[in-house]
Structures are given as structure tokens and as C-alpha cells.
Amino acid sequence: MATLNLDHKIITSCRAIARDIANDVQDMIEKHTTTSVERATLRMLGIDGVDPFDVPYVNVITSHLTKVGELSLGVSHYMAHAIKDTKFSPQEIAEEVSKGNLDLSKYTHLGKPDFQVLTKYYQEVFTKIDESTNLRNAWIKSTTEKTTPLKYVIVATGNIYEDIKQAVSAAELGADVIAVIRSTGQSLLDFVPFGATTEGFGGTFATQENFRLMRKALDDVSKKLGRYVRLVNYASGLCMPEIATMGAIERLDMMLNDSLYGIIFRDINMKRTFIDQYFSRLLSAYSKITINTGEDNYLTTSDAFEHAHTVLASQFINEQFAKLAKMEEKYMGLGHAFEIDPAVENSFLYELSQALMAREIFPKAPLKYMPPTKHMTGDIFMGTIQNALFNIATVTSHQSIHLLGMMTEAIHTPFVSDRALALNNANYIEKAFKDFGNEISFKKDGIIQKRAEETLQNAHNLLVTIQKEGMFETLKMGRFAGISRNEFGGKGLDGVFKKHQDYLNPVMDELIKRLEVTK
């Protein structure tokens, strides 16, 4: 593929500055924990299910410790003492606490427990995750690897059983990746619903059972088609670490897991989000789950032509957060989008420039390219043309993950027929333009090259500003997407705790140890 001959000194400088920005935030992360990290830790100890009032047992434990204990000590402190004292399993301890038969506060002022008693419980869960990871790897290895972008489509009926029908249909028409859109507002729930669900607005609730059901359905159609169909859900919101844990166990292949999206677009407290994303990415890195970041969303609220550099700056920062979580570049699905107003002269050249620039700067990353949404209207014929141009840019610039655009994007949740037309469009262009990107070169000092150079320089300037301000002040100033957030505002701040001097989390320590060994 032809390159844009970008200045690699500027790219190197961008990475160094982004590393400083991420390290500054990491210092805060290391000193804190959250209720959601602690609940994920309990899930890694094998705790599952809900009490008679449908409250997840992991929430029962953290709520109990918030009221009568010190969650800043970490759930591992309490579980280790309780196991040694009662001889119960973590699941039995959770059930006894729920019934009011066990008060964990009596362990608060005891010394350091024997954390070894937890080992067999989290090792069992690690074994499940290992089995899932190995099965995925073997399956992908046994099928022909695609050299064109993975075609990614969504299902969002609200009913997992209807989602399964639509997902299977999409796979049979050529989809490589199925994303189950999460029910509207689930990111703001501070618990994970339990079991299979059949009602949801704008999407389907993310639950472990729903993950299992869809995984089974996609495995069945994968066998029929002779190729592995990937599954996606959302490790974001107030339960980010827990959903990452469930996804690792149930063999999801990709998870939307951005370090900034929840802060900017869901007003989740920034400390909570940064801390949660670290645990989530450690687990995704270990499980070899490809994360998808959310930079594309910036362009839904700010102008894609004027603020393209904010996407690139965020990609550099997200890359460094992922590296701090010991994630390999081949699992960093950095996001961007085809969102310039089609009324802009030469808009396609600017879009192609952005896509080529991202590919050149992040050559090993499985870039996720998002379709037109902001400037889609009720004119489905114009929408089809916009999506066709997007598909051409995708194939030409060798994107990795290709979220298909729907001609009815601005009208309603897509019908099965709309998805079929989108797949037909993408399938045709995938063949017609397969090697187009390898056959062309770009004019020196032409529109495409100059646009990429300008965007890179502006991203560098923004990163310098963020480095001076600090990430928290940058978010307060609304430099991403034009939306201002406050360090002490947002949902979930009450679930952030400064770690006690005796805090230990053997599950996180084991994750880090295993990742360091595999490196």
C-alpha cells in the first residue's frame, strides 16, 4: 500500500507525549480501586448468581463491605479470612452474607490473611478463560485468514433469541463479526443483570447467559460456514471490569473498551473509568480479546473536518493506556470514522487521507472504521452512496474491522433486509476494490498528503497541551468532542476508594504475572 510519507519524528514525539499523559493517570490508578474492580475480582473467585431479590451476589458483598467494613482493604482480604475461618467457598460465603448469617466486618481489623486460600478458586476461572482463548485461537488458525477487512454488523432487537436469528442470518450473508448492541442505559447500571433477557430498548442486556447463548449460536453457524464468526459486546460503563470478566469466560472475541468514552458521553466519573479500564484491559490482554476504542464518537458532536486531530490524539493516548495494561498492539482496535459532511468539496479525499494516516501510524493495530451516521438523512439512495464511498475508503486503506453502514441509519433500527443490502454493498466493493490500494500512489504535496500532515501536526499540538494541563483538566476543558467533565462529578464517584496501605488483589497480581511471562 502507498504511504503518505508522514514525518516519523512527529509520530515518535506524539507517542512519547501520550506515554507521559497515560503514566500520569496511571499513578492515580495504582493508588485506587473501585466497587466494580472488586466485584470483578469476586467473579474471578467463582462467585455468580443473584439473591432472592435478584441482586447479584457480587453486589451483595461489596454493598455489605461498604456499609460495615472497609472496601479499601479489598474484597480479597475479607474472602481470604472468611474462607480460612468458615471453610466455606467464596460462593457459599456470598450466600451466607446475603442471608444475614455472616458479618464480614469482624475481619476488618485482623492482620494480613493467608491469600493462598484464594488460589484454587481463581485458578479455576483462569483455566476456563484459557480454554476459551485456546479454542478461539485453534478455530481461527484452522480457517483461511482474511486479507480484506472483517465485515462487522450489529443486532439490537432487545430479545436475545431474536438477536440470534438476525446474527445467524447476517453471518450467512457474509458478516465476519456480530456485535450485540447493549440496551440503552445499561452502562449506567451499577450491577450486571442475570440470565437470558427478552426485553430491552435499543439493544439487548449484556448478561453472561446472553453471551453464552449467542456464542453457541455463532459457533454453530461457524461450523456450517467453515469460518469463524466473531462476537462483540461492550466492556464499558459502571460495570466495565465485570463485563470484561464475563466476556473472557464466555469467549467473546472483541469488546468495546475505551478509556474516555464513558467519561465524555455517559458522564461516568473519570477516576472510576480510568481505574476500571485498567483492570478490563489487563484481562482482555490476557484473554487475547481485541478491544475497540470510541474515538469515532467525537465526530458525532464536533465537526469531523475541523476536529479530526482530536481523534488521532485520542488514539495515541488509548494506545498508551493499552500498553500499560500489557496489551499487544494486534489487539488494540483503535477507532475512527467516515463522518465529514458530504457537502464539503473533496470530502472523500479528506476521508481517505484520515484512514490512510491511521493505517500508517498504527500499522499493527486492528483499526476499527466506523460508517457515516451524523450526515445520514431519510434519503436512502444518498445513504447508499455514502456507504459505498465509505466501503471504498475502508478497502483501499486496508482497515481491519469494517462496521457496515446502513442506508436507513437516520430512520429506524435497521431491518434484516437493510443489513442484507449493506452486506451486498460491502461484498461487491470488497471484490471490486480488493487490490486498489496497492495499485495507487499519492501526489507529493497533494490534498491527501497535506491533509494528513496537517492533522498529525495538530494532534501533536493538542497532545502538548494535554501534557501541560493534565488529563483531568483537559476533560474539564472539553477538548474531546466539545463536552466538559469534572474530576469530582459524574456517576460512580462514590464507588472509588483509595487503597488501604494493606490492600492486595491476588487476582490482579496473577493477571500481571501471567502477562509478563507470556511477553
Residue among 122, 261, 369, 503 flagged as catalytic: 261
- Decide if 368 is catalytic: yes
**How long, in residues, is the chain?**
519
Read off the C-alpha cell for 281.
Answer: 484491559
Of the residues 151, 296, 323, 418, only one is catalytic, namely 296
Distance, in Å, from the CA atom of 48 to the CA atom of 250, rounded to the nearest integer, reads 14
Per DSSP, the three-state class of 177 is strand
Q: Find, among 425, 484, 298, 451, the residue nearest to 374 by Cα.
A: 298
Instruction: Describe the strand order of the beta sheet including 401-403 as a list of residue ranges.
Output: 332-333, 290-292, 254-256, 230-234, 177-180, 150-155, 401-403, 368-370, 335-337
Catalytic annotation on 54?
no
CA dist 506 and 119 (Å) reads 8
Q: Which of 151, 288, 323, 368 is catalytic?
A: 368
Residue 56, sorted as left (phi over 0), alpha (psi -120 to 50) or beta, turns out to be: beta
Cell output for 69: 467494613
Please choose, from the candidates 230, 212, 215, the residue with its C-alpha nearest in 3D space to the C-alpha of residue 171.
230
180 beta partners = 155
Per the CB < 8 A criterion, the answer to whether 158 and 14 are in contact is no
Terminal-residue alpha carbon distance, the chain = 30
Is 296 part of the annotated catalytic residue set? yes
Distance CA 255, CA 206 (A): 12
Query: Which positions are annotated as active-site residues?
Result: 261, 296, 368
